[in-house]
Structure 1
Amino acid sequence: MNVFITGTAGFIGFHLARRLLADGHTVHGYDGMTEYYDLRLKHTRVDILKAEANYTHTQAMLEDMDALTAAAEACQPDVIVHLAAQAGVRYSLEQPRTYVNANLVGSFNILEIARILKPQHLLLASTSSVYGANEKVPFEEADKTDEPMTLYAATKKSMEVMAHSYAHLWKIPTTAFRFFTVYGPYGRPDMALFKFVAAAGKNEPIDVYGMGQQERDFTYIDDLVEAIVKLIPVVPSEDNRVSEDKARDTLSKLGPFRIVNLGGGQPVGLLPFIDTIEEALETPLQRNMLPMQKGDVPRTYASPKLLQALTGFLPSIDVKQGVTAFVNWFRAYNK
């Protein structure tokens, strides 16, 4: 199978590409080296992938339609997985235009590529941030997502809506999945786990926002990749519509389009999460307790029922296992 993945210099794209290559598939990666965080980590990921015989890479921005078209046409993908995006809730308050360019214009370009090349399945990365501050838990895919709290969430919701229109108009089989706080080795330096462990190495205090009362449905990277791999062959159609007694299916009646949560449905409080990091590090963390930041949501909590009904898979790696794996990687990576 030929797979075209955007975002392979990034955390999730890197791990997905490695898994698909290990499974014997051919992967073409596409990503721009933006300076949102340390470029050395991005280059490390790409260099690891380039060592694989069945991997090719294009370094360019999503907004560059000519480069994107040339790369995708050379790949002739059976499957497109669109992971590249401008990520980060807080950064969207500082650099909103980058979110419009990458997440709206860039995603539109991917939809155009899919319209032209007609892959068997188009898969798109969205986010749990689209649920905003929903009080109903766990979050189900059919819940209301019309009140985003940041521009980041708004651009991801807009991508979902654009993708639905393309699935309807051009019959492009499309699955949009919503990620829930993904973490693990080679993770992003702007994420809490990376920042906390890095601070410990420098004997610096950590900033704990929301006075530590927030809850997150942490998803270990191996679980997330497994979920994506299992969803690839589940091409949205009436043939695999899920019965109501198993889950509320989001399969559209207007086209081959579906939204799926990728999370385990086991939220963990921020303070217990920090306790787990301390245990893995075998050292206490100095805590600087602060109020909630603008745009942050108090809780994320996935319903995994639809994912389980479609694939038989349920994310299960707990935070103790995941945090320990990250700490071991972090120490090796930073020698």
Structure 2
Amino acid sequence: MRVLVTGANGFVGRHLIHALVKREHEVFAGTRSKEVIFGGQIMSGLLDILDVDSLSSIISKFKPDVIVHLAAQSMVKEAWKQPEYTLRTNVIGTINLLEAIRILSPETKLISIGSSEEYGLSSKYESILTENVPCLPQNPYATSKHAAGQLAMQFANKENLNVIHVRPFNHFGPGQKEGFVISDFASQIIKIEKNLSSTKLRVGNLEAKRDFTHVADVVRAYIMLLEQNVANGYYNVCSGIPRKIDDILKTLISMSSKSIEIELDPNKLVPSEVPSFAGSYEKIKEAVGWTPKIDISDGIHETLEWWRTNKD
């Protein structure tokens, strides 16, 4: 298949590109960065979803069977600082993509990547979140992703497009930048191991529970959705298990030989945080047979080892 990936230079995008190539798909990696990190067998080029002309040009020339739309402003903290930019990128960018598909390539399947953040406060009332639970987003990032998903489904219904809106829950793995809980902990531990900081590891709320999935499992879900015939709609990608942040941290610390102290950092406390957040993957399991496979301890160890190798 011919697969166009927007936001290909991001954490998930890099993993997805290489997994697609291994499965012998023809891939175009779209990125806003001039730095090309992919091998020669992968087509790549500048793609800004806010630039309608460049977006339309790439779709016209490449003629993708599937587009996996990863390009986004994806950090909650940054969304509070730059709500307008977040909404413009995540909502207007998605509209631009939908319009280009409608006009130039209506047969193209769109895998729109949303977020579990869309559910928001609903997690206070539902212990396990299914796709039928109402969305009550509580920050600009969550609102932007929810709006993008709603618009994607509206376009799909009106224009008879094939659109899948995926809601991945917390995911992690090698190559994830700082700003996300497991990568933040891992990077701080490696700084301590290399004597680049004090032995104090700064943390936010350790009592919260979150649903974590390894990036390789997330990528496998996206590939299964794009390779198989799947009905339009919303699909969770998650482990189904709420894990306490404190337990994640203890697992990471146990993998280090250093003595590490824990210190609460008020700047790491997220507004409108809900105590527990976990999803159901029954719908995607029924649709394509996907279930998470990677043990979380193995994934955490792999992530910490990546930081040991790459943290300078």
TM-score of the superposed pair, with normalisation by structure 2: 0.91
Tell me the equivalent position of 1:14.
Answer: 14
Which residue among 310, 316, 329 is the counterpart of 2:287?
310
Tell me the equivalent position of 2:243.
Answer: 268
Q: CA offsets per residue over residues 51-76 of structure 1, 9 Å max, x none? A: 141x1112242101111111121211
* Alignment CA distance shift 1:132-1:286 (3 Å): same
**Percent identity over paired residues:** 26
Aligned residues: 301
Shift of 1:290: 4.7
Tell me the equivalent position of 2:162.
Answer: 173
DSSP 3-state at the match of 2:277: coil
1:117-196 to structure 2, matched below 5 A, reads 117-134=105-122, 135=124, 136-145=126-135, 147-196=136-185
1:1-335 to structure 2, matched below 5 A, reads 1-33=1-33, 43=35, 46-47=36-37, 49=38, 51-53=39-41, 55-116=42-103, 117-134=105-122, 135=124, 136-145=126-135, 147-203=136-192, 204=198, 205-210=200-205, 212-237=206-231, 257-290=232-265, 292-334=269-311
Off by >6 Å, runs of 4+ in structure 1: none
Structure 2 letter corresponding to 1:216: R
Shift of 1:229: 1.0
Shift of 1:333: 2.1
Q: Distance in 2 between matches of 1:97 and 1:259?
A: 25
Structure 2 letter corresponding to 1:16: L
Structure 1 letter corresponding to 2:4: F
Contact between 1:128 and 1:180, CA under 8 Å: does it hold in 2?
Answer: yes
Shift of 1:111: 0.6
Structure 2 letter corresponding to 1:202: K
Q: Distance in 1 between matches of 2:279 and 2:60?
A: 36
Structure 2 letter corresponding to 1:177: V
Structure 2 letter corresponding to 1:278: I
Structure 1's unaligned 5+ residue stretches are 34-41, 238-256
Q: Distance in 2 between matches of 1:131 and 1:120?
A: 28
Structure 2 letter corresponding to 1:127: S
DSSP 3-state at the match of 2:76: coil
Q: Distance in 2 between matches of 1:310 and 1:282?
A: 44
DSSP 3-state at the match of 1:4: strand
Q: Distance in 2 between matches of 1:326 and 1:28?
A: 27
TM-score of the superposed pair, with normalisation by structure 1: 0.85
Contact between 2:190 and 2:311, CA under 8 Å: does it hold in 1?
Answer: no
